[in-house]
Amino acid sequence: MGDSKSSLVFLVLLLIVLFSGTSSDAHSLSYNFTIDPQPRDGQPWCEVQGEVDQKVFLSYDCGTAKINYLSPLGEEVKRMSAWETQTHTLRDTGDLLQEQMPDVTLEKHTDKVGSGPLTLQARMTCWHEDNGHTSAFWESGFNGQLCLLFDLENGHWTMVHPGGRQMREKWENDGAVMDFFKKVSMGDCRAWLQAFLVRWEKMLKTSAPPTTVPATVQPTAPASNRITEIILVVLAIFVILSIIAWILFKKRRQCFQEA
């Protein structure tokens, strides 16, 4: 009986080790760009929304350089000397995306496109996983329809919607654009995230999710995170079954010995 209790205690401790921290140390930083080549009066041609762990912390108008800090996380950013450099990079990214728009035709880019103007949404995300691994990717689409995914780690493009074909061909053949995407996401974004986490670590554990939802392409977690979680679950199930089988075997052997 004592062996059974010890086995169960060991099982509980093992599960705690496996699942403690599987997500507590994983963080992401995203910037959502909305480019409108024909903005209405008073509307920005480029608007950027910043998120950390899918929590909105600020919005930025590329044209007027106006920043709205939307949470205590954003207020912390305001005090960082590095933020001024980031605004310049975000503006440069908005300029680059706007330059891509004149060469893009409507050609049924999305199911939502009608006779109105075409707007471009792009989402840059850098991801710091709990095991220390970092990754980055871009998502882009038109009028709210996700069209393209670009994984910077392996350089792989995924065309989610046929409307992204023209933009994919354009970007794949433009070395300057590709280099810019890599520099901003693999370099700048990851450096920003590390700098932010120094101030945000405690706040992220207690902050509530935002009440606003970004108007850009919705986030997609890296596949490696999901694979890691699946492996951990499978491993935990295997360990549980193995321990249960071992306990049952010992009980049966004990019964035969007593008989």
Residue 58 main-chain phi, psi, to 5 deg: -165, 165
Lowest mean pLDDT among 61-70, 76-85, 120-129, 143-152: 76-85
Q: Is the pLDDT of residue 212 over 70?
A: no
Question: Going along 42-182, which residue ranges are E strands?
Answer: 46-52, 55-61, 67-69, 120-128, 134-142, 145-151, 156-159
Residue pLDDT, tens place only, 95-133: 999 988 876 655 554 455 445 678 899 999 998 777 777
Q: Is the pLDDT of residue 39 over 80?
A: yes
β-strand partners of 123 = 32, 139
Q: How far apart are alpha carbons 95 and 89 in whole angstroms?
A: 10
* CATH number for the domain running over 25-221: 3.30.500.10
Give the pLDDT confidence score for residue 35 in this predicted structure. Answer: 93
Bigger pLDDT: 198 or 59?
A: 59
- How confident is the prediction for the chain on average, in pLDDT? 74
For the chain, percent of residues with pLDDT exceeding 70: 67
Give the pLDDT confidence score for residue 231 in this predicted structure. Answer: 61
Lowest mean pLDDT among 46-50, 124-128, 208-212: 208-212
pLDDT-based confidence at 42, cuts 50/70/90?
confident
Give the pLDDT confidence score for residue 243 in this predicted structure. Answer: 76
Please name the residue that has the structure tokens 């977690």.
221
Tell me the helix, strand and coil percentages in the chain, rounded to 5: 50, 20, 30
